Amino acid sequence: MAKILVYALLFVCLVVAVRASIKGLRNLPPYVGSLGRSWYIGFRVICGAILVFLIMPILVIIPLSFNSEPYFTYPMPGFSLRWYEDFFVGEQSKVWHLAIKNSVIVAIFATLIATALGTIAAVGLSNARLPGKTFLMGLLISPMIVPLVITAVGMYFFYSLIGFTPRQLSEIWSGLHLLPVILAHAALGTPFVVITVTATLVGFDQSLTRASASLGADGLRTFFKVTVPLVLPGMISGALFAFITSFDEVVVVLFLAGIEEYTIPRRMFAGIREQISPTILAVATILVLLSILLLTALELLRRRNERMRGMTPA
Amino acid sequence: MATAQQTMHTYEVMGGQSLKAALAKAERRNKIRAFMLVVPLLVFIAFAFLAPIVRMMYFSFENPVIVETFPKTVAALADWDPTGAPTPPEEVYAVLAEEISRAAKDRSIGKAATRLNYDKGGMRSLMTKTGRRVSRMQAGPFMDGKWKEAFLKISKKWGDRDVWVTIKDAGRRYTPSYYLKALDFRRNAEGDIVPEPESRQLYLLTGMDSVWVRTFWISALVTILCVLLGYPVAYLLANLPLRYSNLLMILVLLPFWTSLLVRTTAWVVVLQTEGVLNDVLMFLNIIDERIQLIFNRFGVLVAMTHILLPFMILPIYSVMKNIPPSYERAARSLGATPWTAFWRVYFPQSLAGIGAGGLLVFILALGYYITPALVGGPTDQMVSYFIADHTNRSLNWGLASALGGILLVGVLAVYILYDKVVGIDNMKLG
């Protein structure tokens, strides 16, 4: 019985894909022959399969996080919120809450540093007369390109040589133990801010800042009252990139954080290494929700940016 | 952004100097101001990012342990020619006796023994044992002239040419030996560079299954898979009406924005032997017994392709968006078949996108660590895994740095190629 259902489901998917392609067929120019038409349908079915490949794994784990039994198979025997309970109030919740706290602290500070430094640098970089611009840009973007392991291991060696380790730092002040990870994540986040803000500054009308200066505003005032509002969408999307980069990063954390310092990705990494518990799927589902929120925020920003530049909204 | 005072100042200057000089000065001030804006980030990146990497590269050939623990021995060994006598003269034994017993007392011998053990297995126990015995002997009767005998009594290995060659080699303050080791080469007694014998190739096998070939091969395969899967999707997205393409774009962007660990978790759940895909395949009677889909090369390729696919689709899409449809139509109206029109007219215009996406995916794939570590088997680990492993477990920082150095050179080469083909300024996100 269940088998028939699955086959029926697959069949329905196929019918929907073919129907959608057939609907598109009407828009084809009349000179397209029957071979062209069948290729057209075939092409859409292939694309559909690839899109399913992209989204499927994420969709598969969301229902499983509500499974009443700790197995990862369909059909699920029952619906339950117990894994979410585990995460929010259960026995293990303390560990997870600590991980959330660490992740949020690191991500927020790293984002602030990356956004501030990145935005200012991007304003300088978009000056057409800056000498060695390509070289500087290449240098500032390199944290994104250099393999994470090299960055992490290099920082681990360097920071332990100069006494910049979590243990030594927390002897100075206990709140400093996350500083190495924060600095590392800030460095990893800056390229995103530089890229997005530079992109917003393309076609930036320099006469606006000159107008501001001619009206008597000094450099600082011009920057905050004229430049910042205009590049704000780029700044925010760069900041979101920096935030998610830090929030998702595990290699640097593995090397630079203390042995007992866990962040959410590090917890998940440890969890997958041993035995995946359904609690991890609950956390994963919450993280997917977070990315949906971020994605929505970015899309709204993009539209606002296009409106402000007088383009037609997509 | 000049202030009112500065403007006044400029007028005064203009009164005194030629307009050209004043302009040059203003231009220069403009340049300096632009540069000053970049400086804070530059300083930060220099400290937090570049300095660690430069220091790491220094680690890859710096080799201070032996020359600092046994300075006199190293100096004495410089005169010994390994191709001649199989063992160095008596004086070298005497000098080493003095230094090894001192090292045993101040406990610096452990580090030196570990360092020698990287080059030749068994050196650690030889050194610690010798250190212990020699320091006892030094307290005893006068030993002058009998050190060689005493050493050979402690262990026959002290009559072995290779042991002394190892110490002599490790005594250089700067050494290429980590790089040689990283590529599975070594120096023999004659000082020639030869491949390590197969039994000594611990992780890094030469030949087709070497970690380097494997890293390159997995990255290339993932890049090709991404092109094959990404190109049709990008084409569809670029040619659909906006309201549909925006909707489908979400399917590309959501995985792009989803945590790497979430996606890796998802693939573990889907691919594991008791997992969803095996269930479905069993259910549909496509397979008779559960098959291994994870902790092997297949799992690594699937998961990495899935994670990197958006990095391929987005650049191709943005290039295709700017290809005017009229060219292809013109080709059709001139009698080209749909395939010719696509292949001769459309495809060449979209090559820039494939180049941008392909190089980006390839660069990112080269450095992958987390995904192969979680969904791959022991023979699917890439260079990054061994860098982490030598840093954490064998604590051989020199070798870890040398592996990192070679990987970095590879990545930077592709990065420079990327700059030449695409231009760093054109890098786009999302």
DSSP assignment of B34-67: HHHHHHHHHHHHIIIIIHHHHHHHHHTTB-HHHH
Q: How is residue A202 annotated by DSSP?
A: T
Q: How is residue B198 annotated by DSSP?
A: G
The reply to whether residue A129 touches residue B268, judged by beta carbons under 8 angstroms, is no
Q: What are phi and psi of B105, to 5 degrees?
A: -70, -45
Distance, in Å, from the CA atom of A293 to the CA atom of A289, rounded to the nearest integer, reads: 6
Predicted-assembly ipTM surpassing the 0.90 threshold: no
Residue B412 is predicted with a pLDDT of: 92
The predicted model gives A69-89 an average pLDDT of 81
The answer for residues whose C-beta is within 8 angstroms of residue A72's C-beta and 6 or more apart is A64, A276, A278, A281, B269, B272, B274, B275, B276
Question: Which amino acid belongs to residue B185?
Answer: F
The reply to whether residue A183 touches residue B48, judged by beta carbons under 8 angstroms, is yes
The DSSP bridge pattern shows strands B185-187 and B193-195 to be: antiparallel
CA distances from B421 to A117, B213, B417 (A): 28, 25, 6
| Protein fold of B207-426 | MetI-like fold (1.10.3720)
DSSP per-residue codes, B137-174: HHHSS--TT-HHHHHHHH-GGGG-HHHHHHHHHHT-SB
The predicted model gives A11-19 an average pLDDT of 75
Q: Which two tokens stand for residue A222?
A: 């011009």
Contact assessment for residue B386 and residue B211, using Cβ atoms and an 8 Å cutoff: yes
The reply to whether residue A44 touches residue B236, judged by beta carbons under 8 angstroms, is yes
Q: Omega before A229 cis (within 30°)?
A: no
Chain segment A231-285, per-residue pLDDT in tens: 888 888 899 989 998 998 999 999 998 888 889 999 899 888 887 888 888 889 9
Residue B224 is predicted with a pLDDT of: 96
Give percent of chain A above pLDDT 70: 91
Distance, in Å, from the CA atom of B260 to the CA atom of B268, rounded to the nearest integer, reads: 12
Segments of chain B assigned to CATH 1.10.3720.10: 207-426
C-alpha neighbours within 13 Å on the C-beta side of residue B159: 8
CA distances from A35 to A300, B338, B339 (A): 41, 10, 12
CA–chain centroid gap for B325, Å, is: 42
Distance, in Å, from the CA atom of B406 to the CA atom of B133, rounded to the nearest integer, reads: 41
Cα-Cα-Cα-Cα torsion A198, A199, A202, A205, nearest 10 degrees, comes to: -70
Cα-Cα-Cα-Cα torsion A34, A37, A42, A48, nearest 10 degrees, comes to: -170
Contact assessment for residue B151 and residue B130, using Cβ atoms and an 8 Å cutoff: yes
Write the burial class of residue A219 (CB in 10 Å: 0-12 exposed, 13-18 middle, 19+ buried).
Answer: middle
In three-state secondary structure terms, B84 is: coil
The reply to whether residue B266 touches residue A32, judged by beta carbons under 8 angstroms, is no
**Within 10 Å of residue A31's Cβ, how many Cβ atoms?**
9
In three-state secondary structure terms, A132 is: coil
The reply to whether residue A129 touches residue B254, judged by beta carbons under 8 angstroms, is no
Distance from CA of A286 to the nearest CA of B (A): 10
Instruction: Tell whether the model's pLDDT for residue A29 goes beyond 80.
Output: no
Angle at A101 between CA A241 and CA B50, to 5 degrees: 50
Residue B199 is predicted with a pLDDT of: 61
Residue B206 is predicted with a pLDDT of: 54
Nearest partner of B222 among B298, B320, B277, judged by Cα: B298
Distance, in Å, from the CA atom of A284 to the CA atom of B71, rounded to the nearest integer, reads: 56
Chain segment A44-69, per-residue pLDDT in tens: 889 988 998 998 888 888 888 888 87
Distance, in Å, from the CA atom of B265 to the CA atom of A99, rounded to the nearest integer, reads: 18
Disruptive mutation site among A153, A223, A235 for chain B (greatest number of B CBs within 10 Å): A153
Q: What are phi and psi of B195, to 5 degrees?
A: -65, 145
In three-state secondary structure terms, B193 is: strand
Structural domain boundaries in chain A: 2-64, 87-308
CA–chain centroid gap for B115, Å, is: 23
DSSP per-residue codes, B246-265: HHHHHHHHHHHHS-HHHHHH
Candidates A73, A142, A268; nearest CB to B261: A268
Residue in this structure with the two tokens 């990095």, named with its chain if needed: B311
Candidates B7, B419, B429; nearest CB to A192: B429
In three-state secondary structure terms, A78 is: coil
Q: Which two tokens stand for residue B153?
A: 């009594």
Q: Which two tokens stand for residue A113?
A: 């540093």
* Each residue's pLDDT expressed in tens, for chain B with a length of 430 residues: 444 555 545 555 445 678 888 888 888 888 888 888 899 999 999 999 999 999 999 988 888 888 888 888 888 888 888 777 778 888 888 888 888 888 888 888 888 888 888 888 888 888 888 888 888 777 666 677 778 888 888 888 888 888 888 888 888 888 888 888 888 777 776 667 777 766 666 555 555 578 888 899 999 999 999 999 999 999 999 988 888 888 888 888 888 888 889 999 899 888 888 888 888 888 887 888 888 888 889 999 999 999 999 999 999 998 998 898 888 889 988 988 888 888 999 999 998 889 989 999 999 999 999 999 899 888 888 889 989 988 888 888 888 999 999 999 999 999 888 888 877 766 666 4
Distance, in Å, from the CA atom of A50 to the CA atom of B230, rounded to the nearest integer, reads: 8
Instruction: Tell whether the model's pLDDT for residue A310 goes beyond 70.
Output: no
Distance, in Å, from the CA atom of A140 to the CA atom of A153, rounded to the nearest integer, reads: 19
Candidates A71, A187, A272; nearest CB to B264: A272
Candidates B30, B283, B309; nearest CB to A129: B30
Distance, in Å, from the CA atom of B209 to the CA atom of B62, rounded to the nearest integer, reads: 29
Residue A169 is predicted with a pLDDT of: 80
Residues of A in contact with B281 (CB under 8 A): none
Candidates B37, B258, B388; nearest CB to A121: B37
Contact assessment for residue A116 and residue A103, using Cβ atoms and an 8 Å cutoff: no
The reply to whether residue B259 touches residue A184, judged by beta carbons under 8 angstroms, is no
Element (H, E) at B185: strand B185-187
Instruction: Tell whether the model's pLDDT for residue A10 goes beyond 80.
Output: no
Alpha helices by DSSP H, listed for A126-176, are: 133-145, 148-161, 166-172
Disruptive mutation site among A145, A206, A268, A275 for chain B (greatest number of B CBs within 10 Å): A145
The reply to whether residue A295 touches residue B55, judged by beta carbons under 8 angstroms, is no
Q: Which two tokens stand for residue A155?
A: 């920082």
Angle at B352 between CA B349 and CA B354, to 5 degrees: 105
Distance, in Å, from the CA atom of B310 to the CA atom of B429, rounded to the nearest integer, reads: 11
Distance, in Å, from the CA atom of B118 to the CA atom of B181, rounded to the nearest integer, reads: 9
Angle at B413 between CA B407 and CA B415, to 5 degrees: 100
Sign of the alpha-carbon torsion through B261, B263, B264, B265 = positive
CA–chain centroid gap for B425, Å, is: 24
A87-308 homologous superfamily: MetI-like (1.10.3720.10)
The neighbouring-strand residues paired with B53 are none
Question: Which amino acid belongs to residue B121?
Answer: G
Disruptive mutation site among B30, B33, B39, B41 for chain A (greatest number of A CBs within 10 Å): B41
Q: Which two tokens stand for residue A207?
A: 């006469």
Angle at A154 between CA A151 and CA A156, to 5 degrees: 105
